[in-house]
A = this chain, B = another copy of it.
Amino acid sequence: MYRIGIDVGGTNIAMGLVDESYKIIEKKSIKTSENSSPKEMIRAIADGIHELMDSSDLIEAIGIGVPGTAELDTGKILYANNLGFEDVPFLTELKKTLGPELADKIFFENDANAAAIGEYITGGYDVPVFVMVTLGTGIGGGIIVNGKLLRGCNYAAAEFGHMSINFDGCDCNCGRKGCFEDYASAFALVEQAKEAMKDAKESLLWKNIENIDELDGEKFFEAVKAGDAVAAKVLDRYCDYLSEGLTNLINILQPNVIVLCGGITRAADMFLDKVKEKVARDVYSRASRINTEITLAKGISDSGDVGIIGAALVDKM
């Protein structure tokens, strides 16, 4: 039997046929911008499902990860900023479009939750408390307790990015101040580097860059690797911020493991040890025999596959 996983993003819908060993055996991609209304997107997804089913119709389940709040009991996407969706009966409409034969096999979930489910299952974790933290444009994540996703009373749990770590800090787009993601997302790191390089024309951060806006995560870590002092200082402060949030999550949940994921973790050799050190120094439970393991995603890669495989498995929790 196979599964279909669908990862709905702001610019792209990635779909894949996933086998029983969690390998993607066929992929396809649809540009979101060309199918941007809920109706168009649902039509495009339904077509994509049928195309994948040309390769195999032995489909056990079809799962969709959406960048917003997936209300499981109503089939609605309550809010998805990147899609411009509000209160859209997404799953309900998709089920109608696909017809009764497939309707019972189709599920949806918040994309960060889907990634957590994917990593938990494919990574073979078997721990009472599992936390995944995704470091991207923002910070999201998922919490799995005793093998079950903790969705919260409204399917909106694990919004780690909107834990304030500085109540007098910078304005967050959520309306609060000093949220974790404003300091410790991959996006925030690049912004911090841009700020620092303004007054440091000699910094290697300027290498191959004409306009400051050309700086991205990759170029930033190249400068760190090349020994640039300005970049190193920015990264050290970033480690402080990331540690603050992770330490908070540990003091609250004491998970057996926190898995970090997101493109930025490809450069983890340059910061993970420092983060672990800071967390180990700061956690309230530092006298305990056992403490949270902080690690990188192992079950699934950081490519687009995480979204597809996670989505393909959402009905399992």
Q: Which of A115-157 contact B (CB under 8 A)?
A: 127-129, 143, 145-146, 148, 150-157
Q: Is A185 an interface residue (CB 8 A)?
A: no
Q: For the complex, give the distance between the alpha carbons of A146 and B148 in Å.
A: 10
Q: Is A25 an interface residue (CB 8 A)?
A: no
Q: For the complex, give the distance between the alpha carbons of A166 and B183 in Å.
A: 13
Q: Mark A278-289, 1 if CB is under 8 A from B, else 0.
A: 000110110111
Measured between beta carbons, the chain B residues less than 8 angstroms from A154 are 254, 285, 288-291
Interface of A is mostly: loop
Q: Is A194 an interface residue (CB 8 A)?
A: no
Measured between beta carbons, the chain B residues less than 8 angstroms from A281 are 175
Q: Is there an interface contact between A248 and B163, defined as CB atoms closer than 8 Å?
A: yes
Q: Is there an interface contact between A166 and B168, defined as CB atoms closer than 8 Å?
A: yes
The closest CB in chain B to the CB of A291 belongs to: B154
Q: Which of A239-278 contact B (CB under 8 A)?
A: 240-241, 244, 247-249, 251-256
Q: Is A79 an interface residue (CB 8 A)?
A: yes
The total of chain A residues at the interface (CB under 8 A) is 56
Q: Which of A274-313 contact B (CB under 8 A)?
A: 281-282, 284-285, 287-292
The closest CB in chain B to the CB of A257 belongs to: B153
Q: Is there an interface contact between A129 and B152, defined as CB atoms closer than 8 Å?
A: yes
B-binding residues in A (CB < 8 A): 69, 71, 78-79, 86, 127-129, 143, 145-146, 148, 150-160, 162-168, 174-176, 178, 240-241, 244, 247-249, 251-256, 281-282, 284-285, 287-292
